[in-house]
Structure 1
Amino acid sequence: MNQAPKQLKLDQNLLSKFKKPKQLFIWELVLSSLPLLPGVYWFLDKDEKVLYVGKAKKLKNRLKSYSNHPQLSSRIKLMVSTAVKVKFISLESELEALLVEAELIRTYQPQFNILLKDDKSPLYINITNDKFPRVIRLRKKQFVFDSKNIYSKGTILGPFSSAYKTQEVLKIARKIFPWCNKVGTNEVKSDEIESEKKPCFYYHIDLCPGSCIGEISEEAYGENIKQLILFLKGKKQVVSKNLKLKMAQKIKQEKFEEAAIIRDQLEMIEYVTKKTHRLKPELTSYALKNKINEDGVIYLQKILSEYLGLPKQFPLERIEGYDVSNTQGTNPAVSMVVFINGEPDKSQYRLFNIRSLNTPNDYQMMKEATVRRQNHRKWGLPNLVIVDGGKGQVRSTLKNWSWSCPIIGIAKNPDRLIIPKINWSKWGNNNNGGTDYKDSSNFLKNLEYFTVKLESNHPSLKLIQQIRDESHRFSQFQHKRKRLKDMFK
């Protein structure tokens, strides 16, 4: 007798262990086509209303994180379930993404943009409407509105997500478009004696155009501020186009010094908005040492501009320091230390164990190390090289140096800078049609040098001494390690 098949009873506890198919939102369908580039994105609802604006170092990775539903907060879950579309702009740099994000938030006021950092009140940049506008930071609660509920104290840019990032943005922008925040600049009387006007601190480091001492007209200052506002709105292309037209006009009028200033602005804009440029990571506090090093970089830029004719904002993002260590030629080692934006980056330090000789010859040892260094472009190219030593050490480094970045030395007793008189645009393997005049047999022999003596507390000297001392410490470490190893052979 055939028995009816038994009806299997499903175990509800077992069923609950199987995951339900993941809910897929409409906007998630575009994730596979997103680039791994910096940019800005925004979510829209069915009525094309902007719900949320965000920025990302890598658009694809950031937007993909919104599809991990269990990990999202209730606020973000509501936003992604309401959104039916996501749009994005890929940009060249993190800086551009930060500026464009702030401008889009200011324009659309998305309901899901809640700023949690620093303060409950969002942070903005205020360009005042003074005769010579100042650039200040304000919280929203500090805004003063007129009877028509319109902010009457100038132009407002933002909001920005943190005070630290805002400060970094302004630090970069001021190098390109200097301004003056000196209190009282706009109240200077026309009959004030010229000698009684005192420049502000920032005038001395080329971050103020001189409105505090009457060196710039109201019209020229206003044009500078106009370009600054466009830059802070993320309109890089518009700013570059305006400056190129202005530079061409200055060249036509044979105002070459003014044209050179505009050229430097264009180069700086290109530098800070390129893919490899990264904003400094956010820190919870500032160290005095960091501030000293930042000032050191700024003053060092000014020194290189004055003595070598380099652009005033010549980038000093990567500085390499070299030192030789040996005992009567034995166990020789050359160190390479790396400072990024004025701070040591120990992960990029390198050591060169000298192989070509075992007799006292620091010059030859330095020559071998720098030749081998140039075989490793993947480490990154330096903006400046500092060697521990005087003219002889600098000359030996130059003999086989093919990169067009400046080399300077720091000599002792007393500490002073040794700067070779070289036109670096014509040095080595450059692509600008320059003359590789280092190959001239008598060039290095007859090379002249600037000897620059700085005050003992000068920020640039402090920075260079720190690089010199760090390279010495690192080479000594390797030399002693090799010596100890030899003792136990």
Structure 2
Amino acid sequence: MIDSPAELPELNEAQLQRAALLDTVRLLPDLPGVYRYIAADGTVLYVGKAKSLKKRVSSYFQKNDQSPRIRLMLAQVATVETTVVRSEAEALVLENNLIKALSPRYNILFRDDKSYPYVMLSGHASPRLAYYRGSLDKKNTYFGPFPNGYVVKESIQLLQKVFLLRTCEDSVFANRSRPCLLHQIKRCSAPCVGLITPEAYRQDVHNAVLFLSGKENEVLNTLEEKMHVLATEWQFEAAAAVRDQIQALSQVQERQFVSSNTSEMDVDIVACVESEGMLCVNLAMVRGGRHVGDKNLFPSHADDYTPAAAIHAFLAQHYLDRITPTMILCSPEPDECEVLAELLSAQAARKVLLNVNPNGERRIWLEMAKRNAELAILQKKGQQADQASRLAALVEALGLPEETQRLECFDISHTLGEATVASCVVYDRQAMQPKEYRRYNIGTDNSGSAKDGFTLITPGDDYAAMRQVLLRRYEKVAAGEGVMPDVILIDGGKGQLGIAIEVMNEIGLTTPWLVGVAKGETRKAGLEQLIVPKSGNTVQLRRDHPGLHLIQQIRDEAHRFAITGHRARRGKARLASTLEDVEGVGPKRRQKLLARFGGLQGVKAASVDELVQVDGINQALAEKIHAALRG
């Protein structure tokens, strides 16, 4: 028995921290809300929601049969933060907002490289038809989302052909004085110059909306009635134009879609399958009664998640900031299905039905989605096996450490020293990791200013550019920011590799292996020489060697990423400098010119008389601009 405080055992820092954590948990309210598990360094480990914060969070620390993953997470928790909300539905919204913003390492995450595309009709008096990605504006009308950009672009081409809607930017539309090429090839009715009345254009827009809503027959009937009226009024040219619209629309109906004969509504089909230790969600989309495609998503941090829990997470994350269709077919039934349906209906301001037991045609759609998910898992497993064998072959051939997983590759791109850009691409977890790619603009002595305190280099000096990018990349890694690679690939011969060795010695990094990828004598693919300074070997693998194929894949991706960045930087610089080179055209006049004519190409195409109409441009300056851009 302990008689006095002096006899109490001393608690170490970890035990004190644990006791404080349990005290926090005991004081949580019995209210709905969101909880966040925080590590000692401030990293958010996990975000969850609860109908009762007290009961839900306490259960984590009372159970003894937690999975290894949960036990590992709880061992890292230093504190718990909570936010009380009014309802479980509100908690679900906040939970998924935080998951998207924080990407906690123990939450299942569904990531897309890009937002889903839409067909957009702008809210102008003469609406513009456009391809759109991003947040939605209430002023415009959107149709979608669609599973890929190809479907949207194809739809826009068809709508142009049938309804002749404009696709030009507003700045171009407002400053046209004559019809553009699209009008000449019968892809636009030229509302910009009044070749179609506003009433007729609005009718074409209305018909396009009906078409995008799956009501092609209604559009056909309207057009046929219009054609007959025009014919009876002896307006045969106008009737022939409507006849051409009808023929084009009839051809559209013959497109190779998986079509529905029973419904014109928008439906999403979501199926989650678990196989071979992997989860896959297949999302298929039906728009206006047509099956327009699907995509497969493989969630991150999916250990210990059931398909029902995974599909719940997907629905909550996917529809958080997107248009929700009238019906979503699901397999299996998601966890907390009723709460999800309530949330999605509230967001859409209309009834959204989660159907987990469809009949007839919809059951076939759901079975198709499940089958596609199963096939996607088999395909991904095969790709992973192929990538694993490539990496193992490379490790063996070059004598790299057996635990090698992460490779980073660098490349330099410029045009005669102009707009130099360096790229770094990352291969890890047996796949390229685009979210971890980085580009570095390299400052040259004719580009204006240095970058991040680094001195300007001589244009075209690839060695100096390589030195700068490696310093910028690995000084931060040496300071504890970022991830240390196992291997650094340098696209170049002994010169570039020598620079890399100097930089690594200067920074004090000895862990990563350096490998130079030198092109063969004829610069032909398959003849690359791999230079490994640590082993002192120069290796030329046979052309069909799996390890060489992996090197080529990473090297080519670094080259693609560098040249894309270089072209964008060069184009931006040239657009600005072309007008800057004209004496008398300062920033304000340049801005007015670009805004008036919709970009540099529009300024180039403008006549002297059109240039004079821009505020601040007189006759002499207009002639000077015209001569400079045309010369």
Name the TM-score, length of structure 2 as normaliser: 0.31
Name the TM-score, length of structure 1 as normaliser: 0.39
- Structure number with the bigger relative contact order (C-alpha 8 A, sep ≥ 6) is 1
Greater radius of gyration (CA): 2
